[in-house]
Chain A
């Protein structure tokens, strides 16, 4: 039932710096833990996140096992044109999730 949550202001003034917040449900299993019977729990993490603004990448991040479960990311960009922000998370075991948000620049 993983689903991402993104928070982008609906309207911003041209040239204004605005905050983008993203949250996604993911267990982020480190691969360093063992079960009570000594079986290693395989690594299952998000490895890469990117955000594009009208097709141009404005933020990306590599994730490692130390990142907490349900990673929350917040970053900033400058409002240039009205358009779409596309978010993408990629991870182990073929994990892939996307989200979109539109921003209107006045």
Chain B
């Protein structure tokens, strides 16, 4: 190779590298698609029929918990909030939200536990416990079909911005960011699995691989472990910030809770 050709080759390589690392542009709003679009026929049928969607088992448990008196206050969720079909409609579509009491953004699980501690005077549920997932699924179910509507609260802006930074920041031994898969390479395949855009439209989801219901935070931890990064602890501000960014990124998309994913 002549010196001239060598320099041309080096320049071309530099352009390719720059293009690969620049990336990370937001997906145009009209090109966004829910993970449901990538489901196989059987899994989609399972999700869309309540009597075959395994998450229904949690939704029904959540309904029972909603009406069950708990804690020192001996009060049920329904004693304050009444019929969830009316009072909880749209709630899951606007979390994480800024809590004036906690002075920090909190997600739906934390909101439920906050109510449980303050109003019911009961011990908060552990993250990923059957009870917390059941109540979250039940509350989430009331927003099915509604558009995701993150609050336009000034106090939440910092969390959304922090979430965006985390989303585009390389992490772990594999040194990849969320955006490299879910913004730049969605629709392609990672081994045999389609790479989704990663919109949190159906959480908590029944994941067939887990044979269980799981929260968005569990799913995020899953991805981080895949990147050989140390996952954020459940309820960590970073995890909530990432959730807040993902909800902002999915604004206007339809809530499908509870979703089924492979």
Interface residues of A (CB under 8 A from B): 1, 3, 5-7, 21, 23-25, 28, 68-70, 72, 74
Contacts and interface: CB of A to CB of B under 8 A. Distances in A.
A3 B57 contact: yes
Contacts of B54: 23, 70, 72
A23 B211 contact: no
Given A5-B57, A69-B212, 6 more contacts: A3-B60, A21-B51, A21-B52, A23-B56, A68-B208, A74-B52
Contact of A23 (B52, B64, B208): B52
A58 B134 CA distance: 34
Nearest to A6: B51
B111 interface: no
Contacts of B52: 7, 21, 23, 72, 74
A1 B64 contact: yes
A60 to B, nearest CB: 20
Closest 3 CB pairs of A and B: A7-B51, A69-B211, A25-B57
A74 B208 CA distance: 18
B89 interface: no
5 contacts: A23-B52, A28-B211, A70-B211, A72-B52, A74-B52
Contacts of B212: 69
Contacts of B57: 3, 5, 23-25, 70
Nearest to B62: A1
A19 B58 CA distance: 24
Nearest to B60: A3
Interface string B52-94: 1010110011001000000000000000000000000000000
A5 B212 CA distance: 16
Contacts of A3: 57, 60-61
